[in-house]
Amino acid sequence: MASETVHYRTCPFCEATCGLEVTLAEDRVVSVRGDSSDVFSRGFLCPKSQGLKQLNEDPDRLARPLVRRDGELREASWEEAFAAVDEGLSRVLAQGGRDAVAVYIGNPAAHSLGPTLYGTPFLKALGSKNVYSASTVDQMPKQISAGLMFGGGLSVPIPDVDRTDHLLILGANPLVSNGSLLTAPNMRGRIRAIKERGGKVIVIDPRRTRTAEEASEHHFIRPGTDAHLLFAIAHVLLDERLTEPGPLAELANDAELLAELARPFTPEAAAAACGIEAEEIRRLARELAAAERAAVYARIGTTTQRFGTVSSWLVDVLNYLTGNLDREGGAMFALAAVAQRNAAGTGGSGKGVRIGRWASRVSDRPEVLGELPVVCLAEEIATPGEGQVRALVTIAGNPVVSTPDSAALEQAIEGLDFMVCVDIYVNETTRHADVVLPAPEPLAKSHYDTALYQLAIRSVANYSPALLAAPEGQPQEWEILLRLAAIAAGHGPEAEIEAWDELVLKTLIGREVGLAGSSIEGRDAAEIAAALEPRRGPERLLDLMLRVGPFGDGFGSDPQGLTLELLERNPHGVDMGAMRPRLPEVLRTPSGRIELAPPEILADLPRLQADLSAHRNGQMVLIGRRQLRSNNSWMHNLPALVKGKDRCTAQIHPADAERLGLADGASARVSSSVGELVAPVEITDEIMPGVISIPHGWGHGADGVRLAVAAEHPGVNSNLLAPVEVDVPSGNAVLNGIPVEVTASVGEPAAA
């Protein structure tokens, strides 16, 4: 019997960054458990952690590249695959120019060092304005509001859950999602602790979720109306003189505009829109103001909806008005050891963020933080003319399932001249590829959360080396991206990747030694590069970023500071403590002040005001539903995570079911302006009357998909129902609050 070895690593599957204890017998995974010594998660884990073992064992996970020959995706060598990419991309670039190649970057890219560190070099080498990502079906509204208010797209205040007495949560279900734009493992424990110290947790959600069950109080809200509610809370605070911004008042622009802006949003007017009674809204406002330390936190239910940016803005307006912004126990700015842009150089002011520097070709939708809204992708492919997209590169994404009007996107993708996917499966999206380049499994990659620690309630650093070797000849994900960069730059499929890696390093060092206020400002670039020897790839970049970061050793200036070597010696992570107040140093606005009323956001208020008095016709609206054992669209091929009852059901309130003649377990036909589907009915009073909930990420039955386990639990793709509709300032897709018709579907088997 092989002897067993025990290893510690960070789970790469969600934002909680749990520490795991992985036991191996040679290259076989014996077990995955919570690491009780992890400085942050203290042994907490969720069922998805078993994905490390299950992915390792999944026969459908790709180990070799696939190249389309005679219409079929067939195994090929890495040389053949990169040659095919070179041929395909070069052909499209030659005919259509840079913008003819679009890129879509999916969610797991944010959890993987290859894309986080080498995605930008690839995009630079490609030079296309057709860059899309899962951000515009997710958090872009929050990034826009935070960017305009505080000057940085990741300057998102997060609730200091360990020290707050009062947490108002809207449109988030951290007991299932494990937190988002909020890196805090074990949210159940942390929410319980708030209640145990006499505090209060309130959840505003059209579903009585697990988080709502755990909370002190839950209110149903009509989907898409959070901005009305939040404005009404502001209205009460201002009207009853309950505001108390304290010293922040000295730092903020335009505070005097808020009362005028909030005036139309009386509790009575908001109540009619959102379904929460006016007196309850008043109480929510008074309790928020009265709490010693309070935080308002909102997540995807408030961003993937019609008023995502305005809602996101109002959350921080409330945090400001109640004096809870940047205060312990309030909503604070995190400080990560690595890549924290709002901690670089001399702080206090900066360039801020600008949106709309260019626009999409077909619908003229503004650019947001360097990318275009993904709702534009289908039409950019399908609409002929100068600048038409003819090739698509996907990196860790499944847009055919994850983005709106899926049928239109899929049809557009079928018409592409060339498509290459960096992925681990042949799924609904990658089945259309000409070349699939498999990334190594998570255990064969090193890991560090450069993105998620920037939103963590504690300053934590934890590095995990690769535990398993990738199959013979398989490049690392960062090497795949560098090779794509070289191909995009016209250097061919056999370019020297090492030279590209040097270039990436030199660029980073050059920026840092030239940055006023950097710990290595003015130092010799060659000396810094030499100090990083003999590391290569992500490890070298990470070491650099750690050392120049806020906790770094500054290449000698603080010998106790962080280096990658120090993290290697601390497999359970290093904890630098809870969040600390960071104003005004965190600001990067041109004014050096908090912008409480950015014009880009005010421009959207007439739309909101029109909605306040809009006639509500009583039509059913669709929302989504995250599930503990799903991860968006891609963990449904892992037996441990799909066993049991089928989960892709349409939840509906008993009163609606009766009115519509729907029986539990029977099939419902759900149709919207763009599509329809049939799903099994689940009658439950967990859901608000007038609302129907179908989880996203399902619909695995298509031809050519190579997911044997998922095919047994296919479910339906709820994004067939989502029309192309956006939150205007951010271009983010509206995925919640979609008007639908629901009828009994007689004689049809439910698809799930």
Ligand X SMILES: Nc1nc2c(c(=O)[nH]1)N[C@H]1C(S)=C(S)[C@@H](COP(=O)(O)OP(=O)(O)OC[C@H]3O[C@@H](n4cnc5c(=O)[nH]c(N)nc54)[C@H](O)[C@@H]3O)O[C@H]1N2
Q: Site residues (CB under 6 A) for ligand X? A: 14, 48, 106-108, 112, 134, 137-138, 170-174, 176-178, 180, 204-207, 209, 221, 223-224, 226, 299-302, 304-305, 395-399, 402, 422-425, 427, 439, 477, 623-624, 626-628, 630-634, 696-697, 718-719, 722, 735-737
Residues 289/242, Cβ–Cβ less than 8 Å:
yes
Q: Is 423 in the site for Mo ion (CB under 5 A)?
A: no
Residues 296/288, Cβ–Cβ less than 8 Å:
yes
User: What 3-state class would DSSP assign to 727?
Assistant: strand
Residue 397, binding choice from ligand SF4, ligand X, Mo ion, none, Cβ under 5 to 8 Å by partner class: ligand X
Task: Give the footprint of ligand SF4 on residues 348-367 (CB under 6 A).
Answer: none
Residue 185, binding choice from ligand X, Mo ion, ligand SF4, none, Cβ under 5 to 8 Å by partner class: ligand SF4
Toward Mo ion, which CB reaches closer, 68 or 142? 142
Residue 45, binding choice from ligand SF4, ligand X, Mo ion, none, Cβ under 5 to 8 Å by partner class: ligand SF4
H or E element in which residue 312 lies: helix 308-321
How near is the Cβ of 110 to ligand SF4 at its closest, in Å? Answer: 13
The Cα 266–Cα 175 span in angstroms is 32
Q: Is 15 in the site for Mo ion (CB under 5 A)?
A: no
Toward ligand SF4, which CB reaches closer, 48 or 166? 48
The Cα 303–Cα 368 span in angstroms is 15
Toward ligand SF4, which CB reaches closer, 11 or 742? 11
In the bound state, the residue with its beta carbon closest to ligand X is 301
Toward ligand SF4, which CB reaches closer, 178 or 519? 178
Residues 517/345, Cβ–Cβ less than 8 Å:
yes
Per the rule left: phi > 0, alpha: psi between -120 and 50, beta: everything else, 385 is left
User: What 3-state class would DSSP assign to 463?
Assistant: coil
Toward ligand SF4, which CB reaches closer, 48 or 653? 48
Strand positions, DSSP E, 171-293: 200-204, 217-219, 252-253
Joined together, the tokens standing for residue 491 give 């250097």
Task: Give the footprint of ligand SF4 on residues 167-186 (CB under 6 A).
Answer: 178, 185
Residues 264/609, Cβ–Cβ less than 8 Å:
yes
Toward ligand SF4, which CB reaches closer, 45 or 377? 45
How near is the Cβ of 88 to ligand X at its closest, in Å? Answer: 18
Number of continuous H segments (helices) and E segments (strands) in the chain:
26, 28
* Residue among 69, 72, 70 at smallest CA distance from 80: 69
How near is the Cβ of 630 to Mo ion at its closest, in Å? Answer: 12
Q: Is 496 exposed, middle or buried (0-12, 13-18, 19+ CB in 10 A)?
A: exposed
Toward ligand SF4, which CB reaches closer, 178 or 403? 178
* Residue among 669, 466, 461 at smallest CA distance from 547: 461
How near is the Cβ of 184 to ligand X at its closest, in Å? Answer: 12
H or E element in which residue 317 lies: helix 308-321
How near is the Cβ of 496 to ligand X at its closest, in Å? Answer: 23
Toward ligand SF4, which CB reaches closer, 22 or 691? 22
- CA distances 711 to 181, 322, 327, 706, Å, are 32, 50, 49, 8
Task: Give the footprint of ligand SF4 on residues 7-66 (CB under 6 A).
Answer: 11, 13-14, 16-18, 45-46, 48-49
Residue 735, binding choice from ligand SF4, Mo ion, ligand X, none, Cβ under 5 to 8 Å by partner class: ligand X
The residue with tokens 């300053």 is 459
The Cα 606–Cα 591 span in angstroms is 26
How near is the Cβ of 307 to ligand X at its closest, in Å? Answer: 9
Residues with Cβ < 8 Å from 749, sequence gap 6 or more? 667, 678
How near is the Cβ of 185 to ligand SF4 at its closest, in Å? Answer: 6
Toward ligand X, which CB reaches closer, 17 or 305? 305
How near is the Cβ of 691 to Mo ion at its closest, in Å? Answer: 21
Output b/e per residue, 579-588; b: 16+ Cβ within 10 A: beebbbebbb
Residues 205/651, Cβ–Cβ less than 8 Å:
no
Toward ligand SF4, which CB reaches closer, 199 or 697? 697
Toward ligand SF4, which CB reaches closer, 109 or 315? 109
How near is the Cβ of 373 to ligand X at its closest, in Å? Answer: 13
H or E element in which residue 90 lies: helix 78-96
Toward Mo ion, which CB reaches closer, 138 or 326? 138
Q: Is 138 in the site for Mo ion (CB under 5 A)?
A: yes
The Cα 750–Cα 677 span in angstroms is 9
Residue 637, binding choice from ligand X, ligand SF4, Mo ion, none, Cβ under 5 to 8 Å by partner class: none
DSSP state of 207: B
DSSP state of 254: -
Stretch that binds Mo ion, among 42-50, 135-143, 458-466, 585-593 (CB under 5 A): 135-143
The Cα 636–Cα 79 span in angstroms is 31
Residue 18, binding choice from ligand SF4, Mo ion, ligand X, none, Cβ under 5 to 8 Å by partner class: ligand SF4
Q: What residues line the site for Mo ion (CB under 5 A)?
A: 138
Q: What residues line the site for ligand SF4 (CB under 6 A)?
A: 11, 13-14, 16-18, 45-46, 48-49, 178, 185
